[in-house]
Structure 1
Amino acid sequence: MSAGTGGANYGLRDEIREFWSERAETFDQFPGHEIFTEQERRAWHALFERHLGEAGGRSALDLASGTGVVSHLLDDLGFDVTGLDWSEAMLERAASKAASRGRRITFRLGDAERILETDGSIDVVVTRHLVWTLVDPKIAFSEWLRVLKPGGTLLVIDGDFVSQGPLERLIARLERLVQRRGGAPGPALPGDLAERHRSILSRVHFKDGARADEVARMLTEAGFADVVIDRRLGPIHRAQARAMPLVKGLARQIQHRYAIRAAKPGG
């Protein structure tokens, strides 16, 4: 669906929902979305254990859960997981995947910027690759703080998928050269979806890139405490690179990607 298709009330947030709904069918085919190796699974588990501690049956809310990849990782560790997404197509695939694996994860429809959970009801909130898509991060961060229990933990995994350093630009040129010479590019978005992705990205809050320092600053302003930036995601990225064409794998390992842990005061 293109901008304006839904009439006068159809806006950017609707475009974002429709875009991800159309991505649902092939979402898990892309390295960096689904988990392809046990090496990557262990690396994700290590990241969560480092920042969230032992699960102990605590409640975890996976925001913009998509097909449930992060929800499954949290379930592996013993969290009581709810996945929230506003794409019905994503939720259908998530529910089907959980059922096929015998998981007891709750998936439900909802907006990560306007959560319906009651105040102080969640132990842990986790997001992966959500922040860069937010239309109004100030509202979203306030909502995430509100639903956490005092002393609860937020873990954001995200990155700057817009700006590129000199080495990234060199790798991008190399990738284009490989493709022109018939090299295998790996999974890619069809042209129309790629164009819509660029259009959406140009209009979200972090259109110039969601840099870690800026996200951390905004979380502090929203009321979070003990905000810590963790850039030690190398084990995850190296594992993902093994499932990617060489050039894409190199790019994955040098991009500005990070985890941010923050706490709700009290508890």
Structure 2
Amino acid sequence: MTNSAAISAYWDAAADAFDDEPDHGLRHETTREAWTACLDAWMPPTAADVLDVGCGTGSLSRLLAEAGYRVTGVDLAPRMVDQARGKFLAAGLEGRFLVGDAANPPTEQDGFDVVLSRHLLWTLPDPDSALRAWISRLRTGGTLILVEGRWREAGQTGRPYVAGAETLPWHRGIAAEDLAAAVRPLVVDLRVEDLSDKPDLWGHPVSDERYALIARV
């Protein structure tokens, strides 16, 4: 089984090049606009408190802050959090970023209107527990947004992932129907949106399964 120190070290080492991926850095206008359109469709229509778990370098957090949402980001890798903070500072945006376990966010008793997670569940030793923890952070009527898939490769950086990754419950991702089955007992309703046929989100066409699960508590 993997351990948090190894996972943190892996993503710390990946931080400098992380934004080179089109869907990570959102540096190209077409990719940024594609993610903005998706978030507009998934998010509540009014300003809300958002918890971005596994926020990485904060690219989605930035889009949300620019749209007027109040964002808290959590990531296990300190260098990822440093980059997210720097991104907000450079843009003159307000946001809170915490170093901690995204599976059990260190947000005290804070409640949120939205919990957002992108491409995180495959890295977690206990994803079912993480789902319960995230939902517990949501206020009544809140929204859980999970952007997930079944990956051709386990790592998202081109480097072999940490030792023991093959023992992770959702190693290489999880199919939409399986994630929906895990989430459905915990929420009031949910829907799944296919993202595999939207190359602008990824910066290129993809052949694996990618989707968003949007649920309400």
Global fold match (TM > 0.5): yes
> CA 1:162–1:209 in structure 2 vs 1: closer, same or farther (change >3 Å)?
farther
Give the conservation status (yes or no) of the 8 Å contact 2:145–2:212: yes
**Structure 1 pair 209–90 and aligned structure 2 pair: CA distance change class (3 A):** closer
Distance 1:107 1:120, change over 3 A: closer
Match of 1:133 in 2: 123
Q: Which has the larger radius of gyration?
A: 1
The separation in 1 between residues aligned to 2:86 and 2:120, in whole angstroms, is 22
Structure 1 residue 70: Cα displacement: 0.9
Structure 1 residues 88-127: aligned runs within 5 Å: 88-118=78-108, 121-127=111-117
Distance 1:93 1:47 in 2: 23
1:238 and 2:200 matched: yes
| Cα distance, 1:116 vs structure 2 | 3.0
Kindly tell me: are residues 209 and 232 of structure 1, through their superposed partners in 2, closer, same or farther at Cα, counting changes over 3 Å? closer
Deviation at 1:208, TM superposition (A): 5.3
- Secondary structure of 2:141's counterpart equals strand
Measured at CA, do residues 232 and 19 of structure 1 come closer, stay the same or move farther in structure 2, by a change above 3 Å? closer
Partner AA of 2:216 in structure 1: A
Query: SS state of the match for residue 262, structure 1?
Result: strand
Q: Is the Cα contact below 8 Å between 2:6 and 2:162 reproduced in 1?
A: no
- The alignment of Structure 1 onto Structure 2 pairs a total of residues equal to 215
1:78 maps to what in 2?
68
Instruction: Please say if residues 118 and 147 of structure 1, whose CA atoms lie closer than 8 Å, have aligned partners that are also in contact.
Output: no
- Equivalent pair of 1:120/1:149 in contact (CA under 8 Å): no
Contact 1:119/1:148, CA 8 A, preserved across alignment: no
Query: Equivalences for 1:137-152 in 2 at 5 Å?
Result: 137-152=127-142
SS of equivalent residue, structure 1 residue 214? helix
**Residues 248-263 of structure 1: pairs in structure 2 closer than 5 A:** 249-250=204-205, 252=206, 254-263=207-216
- 2:24 equivalent in structure 1: 33
Q: Cα distance, 1:117 vs. partner?
A: 2.8
Matched residues, percent identical?
Answer: 28
State the superposition RMSD in angstroms. 2.2
1:198 offset after TM fit, Å? 6.8
Q: Which has the higher strand share?
A: 2
Mapped partners of 1:36, 1:200: distance in 2 = 33
Matched, 1:217 2:181: yes
Amino acid across the alignment from 2:208 = Q
Tell me, yes or no, if the aligned pair for 2:35 and 2:201 is still in contact at 8 Å: no
Give the superposition deviation at 1:148: 0.2
Letter in 1 for 2:189: D
**Structure 2 partner of 1:244:** none
Is 1:206 aligned with 2:170? yes
Q: 1:25 to 1:257 in 2, by over 3 A?
A: same
Taking the aligned partners of 2:172 and 2:33, their CA distance within structure 1 comes to: 32
Q: What stretches of structure 2 of length at least 5 have no aligned partner?
A: none
Q: Deviations over 1:152-191 (max 9, x none)?
A: 000001111148xxxxxxxxxxxxxxxxxxxxxxxx73xx
CA distance in 1, matches of 2:164, 2:92: 36
Task: Note the C-alpha offset of 1:49.
Answer: 1.6
Amino acid paired to 1:229? V
SS in structure 1 at match of 2:214: strand
Structure 1 unaligned segments of length 5 or more: list them: 4-10, 164-187, 242-248
Matches of 1:105 and 1:118, distance apart in 2 = 17
Cα drift, residue 32 of structure 1 = 2.1
- CA apart distance, 1:12: 2.5
User: 1:199-252: per-residue Cα shift (whole Å, max 9, x none)?
Assistant: 45412111253111111111123x1221211104644x23533xxxxxxx34x2
Cα offset for 1:140?
0.3
State the match for 1:14 in structure 2. Answer: 5
